[in-house]
Amino acid sequence: MQLSQITLRIIYAALVNLMGELLDDLRAETASLETLLEPLDPGDWERDTPAEGWAVRDQVSHLAWFDEAARTAVTDPDTFRAAAAHFTSTDDLAAELRGLAAAELFEWFRTARARSVKAFAGLSARDRLPWYGPDMSAASFVTARLMETWAHGQDVADALGVTRQPTARLRHVAMIGFRAMPYGFAVRNLPLPDKPVRVELTMPDGGPWTAGPDDAPDVVSGPMLDFCLLVTQRVHRDDTALKVTGETAGAWMRIAQAFAGPPGKGRRPGKAAG
């Protein structure tokens, strides 16, 4: 059955609005991180973060380098795919970039982020882009950059002893974390369980946020912040207030991973973020 012109216009407008919302929130998350970084002296950039072996500088160089990669994925997908095939590890990359002075690194991050956002602004939500896992829609791609910015920003905040106030932007992190459930199993060569999982979270403003079938027997519920910290592997499950019901939900929460690449190291119990 063909869609009417009115329906098509509604769908198109919704997709345009989605990209605009995502880009606005990515800019806001970027500004939040820059606010943390601006007052730092060079010594602060060498502070250890909860990520083993990584200082504040490594968190920022990681974001800047992958912003450059993201821009290439948009503007020259073939070049990106060729380079991605030879990518080694994020730890090796961090080590290679430690010669940059703090001021130079900060400026690189700002420039790389601005260039990537400009490239994203020319995309429609359904455009397909290559990345270090499966190809992604442009909407998911931008969401992933926002998630990375928030997660690495959390590492920076922890290193500085700063408690960040959670915002409604966490809904994007929660969504990509929910949708990445199959990837968490696949990247570990584990079979994907047949049972669906429902997620019922409380947003920072107290409102509800849900995903998954209403009648799913397996449920993950609790604060959205805790869920986001767990799926980005910034906290151990034991240090959250999440309630996990069902075998499939439990298996997922033990390996949840919202980011592309090999399985992350996660956090040890007793190392709660924030």
Q: Is residue 217 part of a domain?
A: yes
In the prediction, which pLDDT does 2 show? 52
What confidence tens digit (pLDDT) does each residue in 171-227 have? Answer: 999 999 999 999 999 999 999 999 999 999 999 999 999 999 999 999 999 999 999
Boundaries of domain holding 190: 170-255
pLDDT tier at 167, thresholds 50, 70, 90: very high
Instruction: List, edge to edge, every strand of the sheet that includes 243-245.
Output: 208-211, 197-202, 218-223, 243-245
Q: Is 188 exposed, middle or buried (0-12, 13-18, 19+ CB in 10 A)?
A: exposed
Same domain, 31 and 126: yes
- Coil, strand, or helix at residue 50? coil
Same domain, 210 and 114: no
How many domains, in total, are found in the chain? Answer: 2
Same domain, 84 and 145: yes
Q: Select from 160, 190, 218 the last residue of a domain.
A: 160
Same domain, 64 and 135: yes
Q: Is residue 72 part of a domain?
A: yes
Using the predicted structure, report yes or no on whether residue 8 has a pLDDT greater than 50. no
Rounded distance, CA 131 to CA 144, Å? 10
> Domain containing 33 — which CATH number?
1.20.120.450
Same domain, 23 and 43: yes
